[in-house]
Copies of this chain bind each other. A is one copy, B any other.
Amino acid sequence: MAETVGDIGEFGLIRRIADLLDRHGIRSERVTLGIGDDTASFLPRPGYEVLVTCDTLVEGRHYLSAYITPFDLGSRAMTVNISDIGAMGGRPTYALISLGLKAQMPVHDIDEMYRGFLAELNPFNAAVIGGNLTKSGNGMFIDITLMGEVEQGKGVRRSGAKPGAAVLVTGYPGQSAAGLQLLLHEPDNSKLLDHPLVRVYNRPSHRAQLGEAFAGTGFATAMIDTSDGFLGDLGHICEESKVGAELFEEKIPMNEVLRQTAGVLGKDPYDFFLGESDDYELVVTCRPEHVAFLRSVAAGCGAVPVTEVGRITAARGITLRLTGGEQRPLKASSWDHFRANKDQK
């Protein structure tokens, strides 16, 4: 029988994790104290602000354990946090990982989860410097605190969007929501795990390198990641910047697989784009004359498309200009974990 968390105990598990991190993780020269004391400590880089964010995944709420491997789960939990650091224009540096575990979990699954964490952290030379292990009642949880750094004054906030600015979006928001709907539609179809949209749902990517590059240009005036869905997050920018926005239907990025899948599910593909979806793309505003430069920067960062989908307006509210010219008001909505009618996450 596979060795379980209960078999090796908390301190055995801590040693095992520390050993795995030693072998496969990054050793950062600015970390003055890692795992194994009352706290970790590091020497911050002069001239840089420290960024810090935390995000939690709860079993049965944020992921379906039957449909995701421990490696992908670790990768996903870290990606969510890396995306937030990237959306400020920063670079991830140090992670603390707090796990609520069930005693009967195989130790091998914990190893795999940590490999997933490291798969995302190592490309940034970012290190796991602490955490906490505890037994959880029903269902496990992963709570990650991720720190990062950004040159002093260079962080890109939600509050800097100005009327007339272009609204850009990376990738194809909505893919993750469509992938989740596919899983919920046919919960017993294991072949779905290879579907490209289910893969996006189970192992979302982030655009943190791109976020850092955008911030480096000095041209990105507001930035956010799409963790609450495109419309929800554009809504956050509008609210914090005290502006509105107009979107152009014919410019909304839509790939064929998303369009076809929406058809299969009997849904409007634009609803997937606009609505709640865990894609971790970026929404960025900049002056219209800087769009071409930001797109060329993105082209240098990889194959992710950057699409200009609309304009910031002085008038509040977000509207969609249909291809025929008609204008339709859109209501920004966001994930809300507590309201009974939005309980699917």
Residue of B whose beta carbon sits closest to that of A334: B11
Once the chains bind, are A42 and B53 in contact (CB under 8 Å)?
no
Once the chains bind, are A56 and B132 in contact (CB under 8 Å)?
yes
* CB-contact partner of A9 in B8, B150, B336, under 8 A: B336
A335 touches B (CB below 8 Å): yes
List residues 100-118 of chain A with CB under 8 A from any CB of chain B: 100-101, 103
A271 touches B (CB below 8 Å): no
A33 touches B (CB below 8 Å): yes
Once the chains bind, are A61 and B135 in contact (CB under 8 Å)?
yes
A212 touches B (CB below 8 Å): no
| Cβ proximity bits A34-76 to B, threshold 8 Å, 1 near / 0 not | 0011111111101001111111101111100000000000000
Q: In the complex, how many angstroms separate the beta carbon of A124 from the nearest chain B beta carbon?
A: 15
Once the chains bind, are B49 and A43 in contact (CB under 8 Å)?
yes
Rounded to whole angstroms, the CA-CA distance of A58 and B134 in the bound complex is 8
Once the chains bind, are B225 and A62 in contact (CB under 8 Å)?
no
Once the chains bind, are A155 and B224 in contact (CB under 8 Å)?
no
Once the chains bind, are B36 and A240 in contact (CB under 8 Å)?
yes
Q: Among A18-26, A136-144, A180-188, A291-299, which stretch is in contact with chain B?
A: A136-144
Once the chains bind, are B39 and A53 in contact (CB under 8 Å)?
yes
Once the chains bind, are A13 and B338 in contact (CB under 8 Å)?
yes
Rounded to whole angstroms, the CA-CA distance of A52 and B284 in the bound complex is 31
With A49-B32, A52-B147 known to touch, is A62 a contact of B137 (CB < 8 Å)? no
Rounded to whole angstroms, the CA-CA distance of A42 and B149 in the bound complex is 10
Interface residues contributed by chain A, number (CB under 8 Å): 77
Rounded to whole angstroms, the CA-CA distance of A340 and B338 in the bound complex is 34
With A39-B52, A98-B54 known to touch, is A10 a contact of B138 (CB < 8 Å)? no
Once the chains bind, are A338 and B10 in contact (CB under 8 Å)?
yes
Chain B residues lying within 8 Å of A83, measured Cβ to Cβ, are: 38
Once the chains bind, are A41 and B49 in contact (CB under 8 Å)?
yes
Chain B residues lying within 8 Å of A10, measured Cβ to Cβ, are: 335-339
Once the chains bind, are A53 and B38 in contact (CB under 8 Å)?
yes
- Give the most central of A39, A130, A136: most B CB within 10 Å: A39
Q: In the complex, how many angstroms separate the beta carbon of A209 from the nearest chain B beta carbon?
A: 15
Chain B residues lying within 8 Å of A50, measured Cβ to Cβ, are: 41-44, 50
Residue of B whose beta carbon sits closest to that of A60: B137
Chain B residues lying within 8 Å of A135, measured Cβ to Cβ, are: 58, 61, 337-338
List residues 177-235 of chain A with CB under 8 A from any CB of chain B: 223-225
A96 touches B (CB below 8 Å): yes
A247 touches B (CB below 8 Å): no
A6 touches B (CB below 8 Å): yes
* CB-contact partner of A61 in B54, B129, B137, under 8 A: B137
Once the chains bind, are B38 and A52 in contact (CB under 8 Å)?
no
A243 touches B (CB below 8 Å): no
Lowest 4 CB-CB distances: which A-B pairs, in order? A44-B44, A138-B138, A39-B53, A145-B145
Chain B residues lying within 8 Å of A8, measured Cβ to Cβ, are: 338
- Give the most central of A37, A132, A134, A150: most B CB within 10 Å: A37
A148 touches B (CB below 8 Å): yes
A84 touches B (CB below 8 Å): yes
* CB-contact partner of A339 in B6, B147, B148, B339, under 8 A: B6
Chain B residues lying within 8 Å of A311, measured Cβ to Cβ, are: none
- Give the most central of A32, A33, A44, A143: most B CB within 10 Å: A143
